[in-house]
């Protein structure tokens, strides 16, 4: 698993940033500075999209941290299809202006990983959870609580990156993956967990407490 933290810009962004800068410089050299302005604007977009700032880790080990930046689009009791149990699901929708690195919501051992190919519906829609391309990891905390974190591709997202495998041990807020260009992350918790966020609330990866485990 790649080391973390990364210096300001996520490692996934450096190739995109290098190509953008090279293209802007080349167009500026060959056609003049005015023609390169759109490419410099694109470079600024790439820079903000792949930013990866350090974040605080609040609360205690019973506090479930947000695995992603964005806003809350779902808080509901439902069935966790990965661990086959009843669960409290909290979903975070990420737009193109959010930080897109994903971080572990809890301390725990990775007990399973599942990748599913699928559609690329608008990630704000609830049906995206089960129909879009997605990658799930099942974490078991030291207290024996099961937490499932699911990266879901969105309307224009075309690449889910997950760097963990079964047997890896993660700590709260540890970076474990990345999704490119708009998406969502679903967190399935024990049904007795208490949500600490509300629908529509903006959250920050690892800095916002989503819920409290029983």
Which residues participate in catalysis according to the annotation? Answer: 183
How far, CA to CA in Å, does 132 sit from each of 23, 66, 112, 186? 33, 21, 20, 12
d(CA 63, CA 86): 20
CA dihedral 54, 167, 186, 200 (to 10 degrees): -30
Q: Tell which residue, 187, 188, 165, 167, has the closest CA to residue 177.
A: 165
Q: Tell which residue, 129, 132, 185, 128, has the closest CA to residue 162.
A: 185
How far, CA to CA in Å, does 111 sit from each of 95, 147, 164, 165? 29, 10, 10, 8
């Amino acid at each position: 698993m790649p080391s973390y933290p990364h210096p300001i810009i996520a490692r996934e962004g450096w190739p995109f940033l290098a190509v953008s800068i090279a293209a802007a410089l080349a167009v500026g050299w060959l056609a003049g500075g005015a023609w390169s302005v759109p490419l410099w604007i694109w470079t600024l977009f790439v820079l903000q999209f792949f930013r990866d700032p350090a974040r605080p880790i609040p609360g205690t080990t019973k506090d479930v941290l947000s695995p992603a930046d964005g806003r809350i689009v779902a808080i509901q009791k439902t069935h966790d299809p990965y661990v086959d149990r009843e669960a409290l699901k909290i979903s975070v929708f990420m737009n193109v202006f959010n930080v897109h690195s994903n971080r572990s919501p809890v301390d725990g051992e990775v007990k399973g990983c599942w990748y599913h190919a699928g559609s690329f519906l608008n990630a704000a829609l609830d049906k995206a959870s089960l129909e879009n391309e997605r990658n799930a990891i099942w974490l078991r905390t030291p207290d024996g609580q099961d937490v499932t974190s699911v990266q879901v591709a969105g309307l224009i997202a075309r690449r889910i990156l997950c760097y963990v495998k079964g047997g890896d041990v993660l700590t709260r807020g540890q970076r474990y993956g990345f999704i490119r260009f708009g998406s969502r992350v679903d967190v399935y918790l024990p049904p007795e967990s208490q949500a600490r966020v509300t629908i529509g609330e903006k959250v920050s990866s690892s800095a916002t407490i989503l819920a409290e485990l029983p």
